[in-house]
Structure 1
Amino acid sequence: MSTNKIISSLAYFSVFFAPFLLPLITWIIGEEEVKHHSKRALISHIIPFVMIIALIIIALVVGGFSEGTGIAVVIGVGVFGLISFGIMIWNVVMGIKVLMN
């Protein structure tokens, strides 16, 4: 098993221990194959962060305008949770796929 495969799969698995740091470092210093996977992993780690910021902004904006804020926030948190869980599963699948190829 090559070192590039291990580093590339660690970029995906880093969702559990270093979500932004490891993919960013491997993207900067890695070889071409590693850079490809590191960039994809970094984007998949950034998506939940951007979504939580958007959810907070939406909750603050909607909170001032209606009484249905609680329902909107619960729905938003549910959607955020499902998407985040899906992204986490995708990272694990991609990490395993990179190791197996």
Structure 2
Amino acid sequence: MSRQVLRAQITVRCCGTTVPERTAGPCWQLFIVMTGLVSDWPTFTWPTSPQAPTVEERAAALASLGFALAEDAEWEWCESTTPEYHPHPVQVELMAAAQIRPLNGGAA
């Protein structure tokens, strides 16, 4: 198995997203942070919902992209605010990140 350790990030898309498919409202997206263009990063989008994905849902999303949490890794949460240029009042948003590793035969 590869010993390569990467990072995954989860963020709520408060105004929806256009990549990989358009959503009409807030949704959560998981990104596998890699070198190269952001548009080429493996991405998983949950159905439109303001609810944060559960630990089990995050693990399933990672596995669907060919990854798993690295040994002893945990999701680290932080708060931020939406940029002032958004078409709604500034609000608090949550983001999470964790160290991950490719599964055997995974995408990385």
Name the TM-score class by shorter chain. Answer: under 0.3
Q: Give TM-score, length-normalised by structure 2.
A: 0.22
Q: Give TM-score, length-normalised by structure 1.
A: 0.23
Report which of the two has the higher share of strand. Answer: 2
- Structure showing greater relative contact order (alpha-carbon pairs closer than 8 Å, 6 or more residues apart): 1
Report which of the two has the higher share of helix. Answer: 1
Highest Rg: 1 or 2?
1
